[in-house]
Structures are given as C-alpha cells and as structure tokens.
A and B are shown apart, each in its own frame.
Chain A
Amino acid sequence: MNAKLTDRIATICFYLIAFLILSVLAILIGFILYQGLHVIDWTFITQPPGSILTGGGGVAPQLFNSFYLLVLTMLITIPIGLGGGIYMAEYAKPGKWTQMIRLSIEVLSSLPSIVVGLFGLLLFVQLTGWGFSLLSGALALSVFNLPLMVRVVEQAISAVPKEQTEASLALGVTHWQTIMKVILPAALPGIITGFILASGRVFGEAAALLFTAGMTSPVLDFTNWDPSSPTSPLNPLRPASTLAVHIWKINSESIVSDASKIAAGSSALLIIGVLIFNLSARFLGQWFYKKLTSTR
C-alpha cells in the first residue's frame, strides 16, 4: 500500500517535471516571438541601424554578416570535418594516437566559447595582423565547430551497415573508393542533418566573435560585389558584427534609445533562424532517409 502510494506520487512528480520543462520552453519561445515579431518588418530586415541619436533603422548588415560568416565557417570546416570524421571511422586503429585525437576532440568541443574567442584574438587577429575581421571570426568559429563536425561524420559513417562496406571490398574495390562511392552516400542523411544542426549553433554564437569578428560593422554598399573593396559586403577582411553580437552589444551599452526593441526584434530573428535550421534538419534527414531506403 505504502509502496504503491509512493509510486503514484513519484509518477506525478515525473509528469510535473516534464510539464515544467515544456512550459519553460513555451514561455521562452512565446515571449521572444511576442516581443519581437511586431518589430520585424521590411525596414527592419533591409535597413542598416539608425544613428545613435535617432535610433530606428534595422539590422540588415548584421543579418547578412551572420549568414556570410556561417558560409565562410562551413567552407573551412566541411572539408576538414569530413576528412577527420572519415579518418576516425575508417582509418584510425585503436591505440595511443587515436586516443590522442579523441581526447583532442573532447577537449575542443567542451572549451568555453569565450576561450576560443580569446585564442582567435591572439592568433588570428593579432599575430596575423588581420585585425577584427570576418576571416578571423570564421576561423575562430571553425575551432569550435570542427570537433562537432568530426563527430557528426564519424557517427554517420559508423551507422552504415558493415555488410555494405564488406560487399564493396569483396568486389575488389579499394578502400578509398568504397568510402567515396559506398559509405559516404549511405551516411549522407546523417551528415547533412548534423551539419545543419551545427550551422544553427554557429548562427547564434556570439562569445567567440566579440574579439575576433569585432562588434562593429562598417557602412556597407550592397551594390558593390568586389571582395577586395572595404565597403563591399563580401570583403572577408572587414570587421563584422553578427545578429547575436549585435543583441549583446546594444544591451550591454544601451546607448541607443530603442535598444530593447531592436534586441527583441533581433532575438526573434535569431530564434526563427534557429528553428528553421532545426526543422529543416529533421525534415531533410527524414526525406533523405526515405529516398535512400525507399521506406514509406
């Protein structure tokens, strides 16, 4: 009797915990969208920030920077992440050396992003002399994104049935060809899902960017597509503040009169972006899976 009562109370507690977590999430998302959605309009997305005195304006350069930085980071991390993941899943033999790489991945992925940012400040901003720039930012983001990508690739490859690999090798196909033509295509859904989720993380990252990509954005001329021009949005050596950095900056300085409004709008944009990444990762993963396995 007593044991049954305790059991029932415990069950209720577990339901309460689940309910609590769901309501926290609902409050978070609801609050952000409620505060931010009415700020977002066409001007907010397409105009640069107004002057400090007048306020107003939008976050167009920041929005662009966020996406551009994401593209640059992915350009750096996808090839290395693929290589590292393939190595860990296919070539690495158990031993000291492999343990060493595993430890590196573990340490790199649990480093605080502010520490990664400071490393970027030392190496990419100061030593190379690039200053606060998109390139420094992308490299710093790569440091913290790379271990994640390697893990994604390794896990996706490990999930491919061994029989497929063996069948390919038995046909006399070399190891590398097997990796390229058999294993990678089969692992692709997992890899793509993982990459998109990683993109979401990169998209919202700020601490690693404060001291690498900088907290300001120069006046950009969106008709100038020459990457070497300082006003061109494509120039990788210009400083750039992303949406996430922008939110932090206007909140911590709060000089701008309508700081909370802009922060609310930007937060909503960020959340929407992250939700899109999250949903598309799920959707694409399932779609690829269905396509490749022809399940209905």
Chain B
Amino acid sequence: MEQVTNLPNKKLEETSLAEELRSPAKKLIRIEQRGRIYTLLSAWILIITLFSLLFFITSKGIMPFIHGEITLQNFFSTHWGPTSAEPGGPFFGSINFILGSLMVTLLSALISAPLGIGAAIFMTEISPKFGRKILQPAIEILVGIPSVVYGFIGLTLIVPFIRNTTGSIGFSLLAGVIVLSVMILPTIVSMSVDTIQSIPQSLREGSYALGATRWQTISRLLVRTSLPGLMTGVILGMARAFGEALAVQMVIGNSPNLPFQLMKPISTLTSVITLNMGNTVQGTPYNSVLWSMALILLLMTLFFILLIRLMTQRGKQG
C-alpha cells in the first residue's frame, strides 16, 4: 500500500529532477540557436545588399532606354553633347568614355604587370628577407594611401612635369596612366606573392638540381606554373583601375576626346559620372545617361570577376 501511495510522489520528484537537469541544456540550446540566427542574418545582409545594389543600378541604368529618352544608337556613338541645341541633339554618345576607361586600364596594367610581378619574384626568390622587412611594408603603405591623395600628387607633381617636358597642357591620358599604375601595383604584387609562394619548394630544387640558373628557374618554371594566379592579380588590378574615380578625374583633363593620343586630355566613365552627377537635375536625360554609364561600370566589374573565376578554375585544373 505504501508503495502505491508513494508512486505518484516519486514520479513527480523524478520529473522535476529531470526538468532541473535539462533546463541549463535548454538555455544553452536557446543561446546556440540565437547565435546561429545572428550569424545567418549577417550573411543574409551581404547577399541582400549585393542584390539590391544590382537591382537598383540596373533598373536605373536601363530606364532611359526603356522610356525612349535616349536611343541605344545615340548612346553608343562618339558624339557627346548633352546640352547641345543642334538638330538631332542632345547627343549622349558615350563610346569615347568607355574607350577612355578601357585605355587607361590597359595601359596602366601594361606598366604595372611587369613591375608588380617582378617585385613579387624579388620578394619570394631573390631576397626574401629584404622583401619581407622592407618591400612588404612599403607595398602595404601604398595600398593605404587614399585615392584623392594620389590624385593630388598627380595634379601637383605629374601634370606640371608632363606640361614642362612636352609643352602640352599636362592633363592627359598619360598622367592618368601613371597615377593608376602606381595605384594598382600593390594589388598585383600581393596576389603574385601569394601565388609564387604556394609553388612547392621541391619544384625549385628539382630545377636547380638540373643545373638551371635562377633566372631560368624563374622564367621557365615559376612564371609558367603560376601564370593563372599572376593573371588573376593583373585582372584584379585592372578591375581596380577601371573603377577608380577621383584620382583619374583629377589628372585626366575631362575632355570628351577619343583616347588614342597619350598627351591629350580625355574622359573616362568614372570621371564623367563624378563631375556631372551633382550638377544635373534628377530625371533629365543628361542625368539618366550617367546612370547608364554607372551600369556599364558595374557590368565591366562583373565581367572582370567572371574572368578571375575562369582563371582560378583553369589554375585548379592545370
């Protein structure tokens, strides 16, 4: 009889004990879930930000063509006269700016790629100690210099120098190329260093054991093995050059010329946008065309990223 009366009591005791034992675990599980949700939300914010950016810039950029404010033919022409009152105007030809952006990008990459890869080889193969102690911090400082400061130096040092040596006005494609090649150098160097360092030491030893000189090892083995990585660095640098706005705008002269003469002032997509976005009225075709140029900038960036992805995939296969 006693047992029977005790039974419910015991059961109650058991459940409360189990409850007690379980409660900290429950609390921990709750904290665990909260942490998971917080980090997941943070990751979501990244994706949402990117997609809303793509959506907003794209819709704003294709608007003038959909509304018929500007025809594609007008946009992809070389005649720029957004306030022109001539018959057939205003003219929104942006080819000169697109070519201008491409031109400064290509030329600065041409200068910067050999220098950057050379510096990376110096840091990894020739003098690692000097490279790590002095060149590496120097490159890090170059990364840190703000782009307006590059622009200011270009404006007060490079432009007058070009003016005095060539007799042109100084503001030119050349000035833009010089400024940009310094700016994208760190990107190329650090990517190249990473790639070359990741080559197994045994490959180098094999080459030296065969009697190859250091230069032969570098040129025939290291550069070829790391080519995809080196190209990735150069393309990253080009992406940076293509999107750079203020430094370029300050030295390039901002005339809507075709960018085929080094000494002539030209314009790029970024320089036109920076200069005119604040001075044009929202909703006018002049303002809308700037958003279309921004869309082209965005598409070019996506194109560069696609190239880099292809490169890294090839690197993995090869």
Q: Chain B residues near A123 (CB, 8 Å)?
A: 52, 56
A205 vs B150: C-alpha distance when bound (angstroms): 12
Chain A residues within 8 Å of chain B by Cβ, number: 91
Q: Is the CB of B246 within 8 A of A146?
A: no
A29 vs B244: C-alpha distance when bound (angstroms): 21
Q: Is A72 an interface residue (CB 8 A)?
A: no
Chain B residues 301-318 with CB under 8 Å of chain A are 301-302, 304-305
Q: Is A159 an interface residue (CB 8 A)?
A: no
Q: Is the CB of B57 within 8 A of A115?
A: yes
Chain B residues 70-119 with CB under 8 Å of chain A are 115, 118-119
Q: Chain A residues near B140 (CB, 8 Å)?
A: 278
Q: Is the CB of B46 within 8 A of A104?
A: yes
Q: Is B1 an interface residue (CB 8 A)?
A: no
Q: Chain A residues near B131 (CB, 8 Å)?
A: 18
Q: Is the CB of A204 within 8 A of B35?
A: no
A252 vs B252: C-alpha distance when bound (angstroms): 12
Q: Is the CB of A274 within 8 A of B46?
A: no
Q: A3-B213, A106-B305, A210-B278 in contact; A204/B149 too (CB < 8 A)?
A: yes
Chain B residues within 8 Å of chain A by Cβ, number: 86
27 contacts between A and B (CB under 8 A): A11-B126, A18-B135, A82-B42, A83-B38, A83-B43, A84-B45, A87-B40, A101-B46, A104-B46, A111-B298, A112-B242, A114-B297, A118-B57, A118-B273, A174-B29, A175-B35, A200-B144, A201-B144, A203-B146, A204-B147, A207-B245, A211-B277, A248-B250, A251-B250, A252-B250, A278-B141, A282-B137
Beyond the given A111-B53, A115-B297, could you list 6 further A-B residue pairs with CB under 8 A, ordered by the A residue number?
A: A107-B302, A108-B50, A110-B305, A118-B294, A143-B49, A248-B151
Interfacial residues, chain A to chain B (CB-CB below 8 A): 3-4, 6-7, 10-11, 13-15, 17-18, 20-22, 24-25, 28-29, 31-32, 35, 79-84, 86-88, 90-92, 100-101, 104-108, 110-116, 118-119, 121-123, 126, 143, 146-147, 150, 174-177, 179-180, 197, 200-201, 203-207, 210-211, 215, 244-245, 247-248, 251-252, 260, 263-264, 267, 270-271, 274-275, 277-278, 282
